[in-house]
Amino acid sequence: MKRVQLAGDLQFSQIIHGLWRLSEWNMTSEELVTFIEDCIELGITTFDHADIYGDYSCEKIFGEALALKPELREKMQIVTKCGIKLCSSKFPELRIGHYDTSTEHILHSVENSLKNLQINYIDLLLIHRLDPFMDPKEVANAFNQLHKEGKVHHFGVSNFLPSQFRMLQAHLDMPLVTNQIEVSPMQLEHFEKGTIDLMLEKGISPMIWSPLAGGEIFTSQKEDAVRVRAMLEEIATEVGATSIDQVMYAWLLAHPAKMMPIVGSGKIERVKTAVEATNISISREQWFRIYVAAMGHPVP
Amino acid sequence: MKRVQLAGDLQFSQIIHGLWRLSEWNMTSEELVTFIEDCIELGITTFDHADIYGDYSCEKIFGEALALKPELREKMQIVTKCGIKLCSSKFPELRIGHYDTSTEHILHSVENSLKNLQINYIDLLLIHRLDPFMDPKEVANAFNQLHKEGKVHHFGVSNFLPSQFRMLQAHLDMPLVTNQIEVSPMQLEHFEKGTIDLMLEKGISPMIWSPLAGGEIFTSQKEDAVRVRAMLEEIATEVGATSIDQVMYAWLLAHPAKMMPIVGSGKIERVKTAVEATNISISREQWFRIYVAAMGHPVP
Amino acid sequence: MKRVQLAGDLQFSQIIHGLWRLSEWNMTSEELVTFIEDCIELGITTFDHADIYGDYSCEKIFGEALALKPELREKMQIVTKCGIKLCSSKFPELRIGHYDTSTEHILHSVENSLKNLQINYIDLLLIHRLDPFMDPKEVANAFNQLHKEGKVHHFGVSNFLPSQFRMLQAHLDMPLVTNQIEVSPMQLEHFEKGTIDLMLEKGISPMIWSPLAGGEIFTSQKEDAVRVRAMLEEIATEVGATSIDQVMYAWLLAHPAKMMPIVGSGKIERVKTAVEATNISISREQWFRIYVAAMGHPVP
């Protein structure tokens, strides 16, 4: 599989595996080890976490599997996130879900992630959401300390709009190496708000969450979903894809921003489907037929 | 009271007094002197004017008081604005309210302000509104001349969106030291449009007008006002505030952009209420409870 | 006529002639030569094309006229555009109108334009629309090669929003010298989206298409058109304009961004009308009366 260079010493597999539903899969640690090995075998070496996934449980489940086979660590890149405080039975004192990007919370969250994942460094740490109460100096302090201590090698953001990305970057000594954003034929927001333009401007590859639009595309009877699905099926036939999810992956993979879609399935067959999409090339015209179906009107 | 550094030689009190309604207070010059002294006693040393306030009358009223006790001048920072041409009985030839940021008008307006205020320099001059007919070179010419002549020490803007701020700054030799914008739990526009992001990016503290949402919040039966008011009352109880306006000030004062709220009351008790808010600290979680009530939906 | 400096060695007439409807005029090549000479006589030396105008036919019609009098070439500046693939009977294999800003397509399109126009260089080449599938490195490659070969002297864009302009510029060795955008009292989008701010920031003069709002303004009974038309008629009387189209041109010409309106008429009388507008000066207040009528509400 093609690999994407995010920094001098950081390469991701272009397809990334996301573990936000890991806690629902009911795998034993042994089964999870096998699943991880199968992913790596397929060329997927990058695994995407967040402190909050599975009500703060997914990192721990992953860490327990990793502990059974610690030599896997060096074969993978681990991404995790911090900055959201979720309402949870684990934090009954919390009165509202909110964001926390204070130095203290970032440091605390990373300690937890390292402990839960049973690793001694994180390849890439992302600020999960733009915090309207963010003090960029606090974030910079945390990043500097984590980098100096070797606990986090690289930093990035998620769901940041351009003004937010520029704001945080202006206060950092190191470059933000990615922005994890939602893009799919059902979600064109970041084409419209300049986020993808900024990524191209700076030569930064975005990680893409919900590349299949949360699955809604497969069954929804809403007008736009029906329209996009019909086009995806048409293109699937043309390019010999086995399913429309391959076309959605291929649509992202074809984009010049070097988008890295995150596959969130715990079924290795679904993961294979995504990996096979890296061999499907869709033409510029096909890309636009999907884009136009997604917009619901021709390009001007 | 905390002071905010706007430039090497410019510090504002974090609470600012705004005089846009001065002409309605019916104070004698002696009463106004006392009011100003009381403000300074409370730590408020920064006074915010505009040429147009009170149908072009407020600067003059203030100047007449200042003339009674000229030694007050050096204890305060005076901000004023130019760039709006208001329909007024004083300018019967004007056919429409509009903006004028020509070199000629800026120079002319500052001369008037200096004369009306009975002072020989302005600490900070703001362009009042983004003029869609602005020639940034004309503004730069005016600023350079006023600075050279010592008539204005520092420059800024008001109500400028990011693209407008960047545009004007690109043509100036001196930094714009603030952007006076409207922010309150009833007005989140500048969180959404990137203005606050830009202020944080550049380390610029915004002055905040209408921090109490023009008073509407106290009585309105509109759904959003009712919702926000209920939350402000809840937080007021938690932090021991005497009123919800203190919570609104504290909400602004807590923000990392070092926001400087402008208090517009002519009653010293109301001013005291604002000053006391500088001793109220609200937690990050309380900040978000207000923000979420203001948005009307949880953070994503 | 005033000339606008776009680069060290590139000056445009402030009024530009646009040939997007040339194929509908049914002129002989001799008549077109006369028309071009009349334009130049009036001071209009800049002619705006695109590969796609007239279903890919306008450049060729112009080129055939130019071939009759090749000495005209050095008296004019020729602008053309590429990047749109239009559904056309000439390209029956095309399934959807889309954009193509690949190196290959840009080079190919310029070769066609040179051949059709019967010239050996283009003064200014524009990317016609923002391509959401654009790889800015591909554009940069094409521009570098075209510049090196002397086939295109300068480069710009059309209809680009600020984030798109910044993105492409970041990858180019040469400055983008213009952005051709739609502006008229019926189309204020680029005032609102920061495009004009960016042009002022960078000191770039925009070319303006549809300065007369596609003619709709003259006849439409829609509320906004009626309101704007009434104001244009009022101003026409005040400034002694012979028609409201002169006022619309004068409104653009007065703007500090040094806007260059494109006149698209094949009737020399209509062209003269536009040229005469360069002698009409409208005041700042008149400019705002039109702007306010266009917005439908007073300035804040």
What the block records as the tokens of C259 is 């806007």
Which chain B residues are Cβ-neighbours of A166 within 8 angstroms?
197, 201
Confidence band, pLDDT 50/70/90 cuts, at residue A149: very high
Contact at 8 Å (CB) between C299 and B97? Answer: yes
pLDDT of residue C118: 98
Given A53, A56, A99, A249, which residue is catalytic? A53
The answer to whether A196 contacts chain C (CB < 8 Å) is yes
Residue of C nearest to B128 (CA): C300
The answer to whether A159 contacts chain B (CB < 8 Å) is yes
Contact at 8 Å (CB) between B103 and B141? Answer: yes
pLDDT of residue B213: 93
- For residues B86 and C145, what is the distance between their CA atoms, to the nearest angstrom? 54
pLDDT of residue A214: 87
The number of residues making up chain A comes to: 300
Average pLDDT along chain C? 97
Which chain A residues are Cβ-neighbours of B191 within 8 angstroms?
132
| Each residue's pLDDT tens digit, C17-63 | 999 999 999 999 999 999 999 999 999 999 999 999 999 999 999 99
The answer to whether A291 contacts chain C (CB < 8 Å) is yes
- For residues C16 and C41, what is the distance between their CA atoms, to the nearest angstrom? 13
pLDDT tens digits, chain B, 300 residues: what are they?
999 999 999 999 999 999 999 999 999 999 999 999 999 999 999 999 999 999 999 999 999 999 999 999 999 999 999 999 999 999 999 999 999 999 999 999 999 999 999 999 999 999 999 999 999 999 999 999 999 999 999 999 999 999 999 999 999 999 999 999 999 999 999 999 999 999 999 999 999 999 999 888 999 999 999 999 999 999 999 999 999 999 999 999 999 999 999 999 999 999 999 999 999 999 999 999 999 999 999 999
The answer to whether C129 contacts chain A (CB < 8 Å) is yes
Q: Respond yes or no: is residue C53 known to be catalytic.
A: yes
Q: How far is CA A108 from CA A101, A115, B51, B285, in A?
A: 11, 11, 51, 17
| Each residue's pLDDT tens digit, A79-97 | 999 999 999 999 999 999 9
Contact call for A256 and C94, based on CB within 8 A: no
pLDDT of residue C158: 98
pTM, to two decimals: 0.97
Which chain A residues are Cβ-neighbours of B200 within 8 angstroms?
134-136, 167
Q: How far is CA C289 from CA A282, B96, C228, in A?
A: 52, 7, 9
Contact call for B102 and C284, based on CB within 8 A: yes
Three-class secondary structure of residue C85 per DSSP: strand
Mean pLDDT of A204-225: 94
Q: Which amino acid is at B205?
A: S
Q: How far is CA A230 from CA A247, A261, B268, in A?
A: 12, 22, 68
Q: Chains that contact B by 3+ CB pairs under 8 Å?
A: A, C
Helices B244-253 and B284-295 sit at what angle, rounded to 10 degrees? 110
Contact call for C96 and A201, based on CB within 8 A: no
The answer to whether A292 contacts chain C (CB < 8 Å) is yes
Contact at 8 Å (CB) between A287 and A234? Answer: no
